[in-house]
Amino acid sequence: MIRKPVALASAALLAFGTVQAQTTELETPEDRLSYTIGMDIGQSLAGQNMELDIDLVMEGLRDAYAGGETLLTQEEALAERQKFIEQRQQRLEQERVEEATVNREEGEAFLAQNAQNDGVMVTDSGLQYRVIEEGEGERPSATDRVTVHYKGTLINGVEFDSSYARGEPATFGLNQVIPGWTEGLQLMREGGKYEFFIPSDLAYGEQGRPGPIGPNATLIFEVELIEIAGSDASQQ
């Protein structure tokens, strides 16, 4: 089961010199380069989360480098590699489906409980919000650009984004963000600060986002509406 990074590293090994099975002293440039390439291969393998027999990995490396007979033909090796990729994809998809189910169930339970808390309001769409501080300015429309400070967390408290942490507010069009933000910000007045509890279907849904926002994740945002920056159409 060979992955592309390993094959590339092995090709580099062929180009640069003799494999040394047990080098205890790195005396020459070739020694150092050989060991460096071995480190690269090892680190690449370690990051793949594969169950491997390192002795067989080394045997395959030596056989391929020697250019003689190998235990698998190129066609057989290609088939093994493809089988591994397909199995891994199936496993990752199954894990994603399981994560999506857990996230949806936990999110629904959280929102059901949260809706009972003092000060929490629920809109027809299912968006929940709590007024931290009411503003006195205008309310934005769905086509306005707004400037806000915000912090986003998962229901387990993990913070995934924060303009406060970056040290500067964000400006964007309300028609360019997740539905929960588009709806929620229109409830606010300039100068106000709200907390939004956003169901997954008003956030990133089954796709989630790279990083901590998994599929069907319910999100919590603390948002401060600093300014309505004007109509998004006027910025185009």
Determine which one of 16, 40, 84, 160 is catalytic: 160
Determine which one of 2, 31, 172, 178 is catalytic: 178
**Tokens standing for residue 170:** 């964000």
CB atoms under 10 Å from CB of 37, counted, come to 18
CA dihedral of residues 88, 89, 90, 95 (deg, nearest 10): 90
- Check if 144 is active-site: no
- Per DSSP, helices labelled H in 115-204 are 163-166, 179-185
- Separation CA 10–CA 45 (nearest Å): 12
Answer whether 80's CB lies under 8 Å from 72's CB. Answer: yes
- Check if 65 is active-site: no
Residue 192: which of 228, 163, 218, 161 has the closest Cα? 228
* Count helices and strands in the chain by DSSP H and E runs: 6, 7
- Check if 150 is active-site: yes
Tens place of pLDDT for every residue, the chain, 236 residues?
A: 334 444 444 444 444 444 444 546 888 999 999 889 889 988 888 887 788 888 898 889 888 888 889 999 999 999 999 999 999 899 989 999 999 999 999 999 999 999 999 999 999 999 999 999 999 999 999 999 999 999 999 999 999 999 999 999 999 999 999 999 999 999 999 999 999 999 999 999 999 998 899 999 999 999 999 999 876 544 44
- Separation CA 3–CA 47 (nearest Å): 12
Q: What was the pLDDT predicted at 231?
A: 64
- Check if 204 is active-site: yes
- Beta strand 219-231 with 144-154 is antiparallel
- Separation CA 208–CA 22 (nearest Å): 46
Determine which one of 204, 213, 228, 232 is catalytic: 204
In the block, residue with structure tokens 């093994």: 80
Q: Which long-range contacts (CB under 8 A, 24 or more apart) does 204-210 make?
A: 204/178, 206/100, 208/100
Determine which one of 150, 194, 196, 197 is catalytic: 150
Determine which one of 31, 63, 161, 201 is catalytic: 161
Based on its alpha-carbon atoms, the radius of gyration of the chain, rounded to whole angstroms, reads: 27
Report the predicted TM-score, pTM, of the whole model to 2 decimal places. 0.70
Using DSSP's 3-state secondary structure scheme, residue 219 falls into strand
- Check if 16 is active-site: no
Answer whether 184's CB lies under 8 Å from 98's CB. Answer: no
Residue type, 224: E
Please report how the helices 29-46 and 4-16 are oriented relative to each other, as an axis angle in degrees rounded to 10. Answer: 170
Answer whether 160's CB lies under 8 Å from 213's CB. Answer: yes
- Separation CA 69–CA 143 (nearest Å): 67
Determine which one of 221, 226, 228, 232 is catalytic: 221
91: CB partners within 8 A, 6+ apart: none
